[in-house]
């Protein structure tokens, strides 16, 4: 019997693994929520598969460190990181990771539990949508517009409503697996 996946999932193993093990699975770990927010921003203007293939280098340069440590990165350090062809060498996007770490820490002063705060946007449980075909799923919503606006107001970069919608899908706050997908069936309450 063939496993039914979302139609957007190519036959590349890295994409299959991401779809099967991560995409749409609820994330409650602060560091992972931060990492995914930053990685979604790296995708801006590109295909997600590019970010996936470079993710290991991002983890090496950024996400093996705490949010507090990332916030201390200097421009000079980021320029050095930008020399690595294993990442997307867009200095503005790399600075956004550092700036987002700073914004995250500032937000933590107001909302000490960032995980709980982020999940409050979906009422603390995943929003499950009926998606007969991924091309019919929205690319943004009132929810992503609201969260995007709040994040931008608090100094986050590369957090437009489309990026945020993709983020909400990735971290399982929104379940947009296609209706025929085995993950939709396995994640259902």
Residue 41 · residue 93 · CB < 8 Å: yes
Q: Is 48 a catalytic residue?
A: yes
Catalytic residue selected from 15, 18, 23, 165: 18
Catalytic residue among 40, 104, 119, 178: 40
Q: Provide the greatest CA pair distance for the chain.
A: 53
Whether residue 178 lies in the annotated active site: no
Catalytic member of 8, 22, 30, 48 = 48
- C-alpha dist (Å) from residue 27 to 45, 136, 169: 25, 25, 11
40 tagged catalytic: yes
| Residues forming the active site | 18, 40, 48
């Amino acid at each position: 019997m063939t496993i039914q996946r979302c139609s957007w999932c190519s036959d590349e193993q890295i994409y299959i693994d991401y779809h099967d093990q991560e995409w749409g699975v609820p994330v409650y770990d602060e560091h992972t929520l931060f990492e995914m927010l930053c990685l979604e921003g790296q995708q801006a203007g590109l295909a997600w598969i590019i970010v996936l293939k470079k993710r290991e280098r991002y983890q090496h340069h950024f996400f093996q460190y705490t949010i507090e440590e990332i916030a201390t990165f200097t421009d000079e350090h980021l320029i050095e990181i930008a020399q690595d062809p294993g990442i997307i060498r867009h200095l503005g996007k790399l600075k956004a990771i550092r700036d987002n770490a700073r914004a995250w820490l500032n937000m933590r002063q107001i909302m000490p539990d960032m995980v709980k705060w982020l999940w409050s946007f979906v009422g603390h449980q995943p929003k499950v949508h009926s998606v007969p075909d991924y091309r019919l799923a929205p690319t943004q919503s009132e929810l992503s517009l609201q969260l995007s606006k709040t994040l931008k107001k608090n100094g986050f970069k590369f957090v437009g409503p489309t990026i945020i919608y993709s983020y909400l899908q990735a971290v399982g706050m929104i379940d947009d697996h296609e209706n025929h997908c085995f993950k939709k069936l396995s994640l259902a309450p």
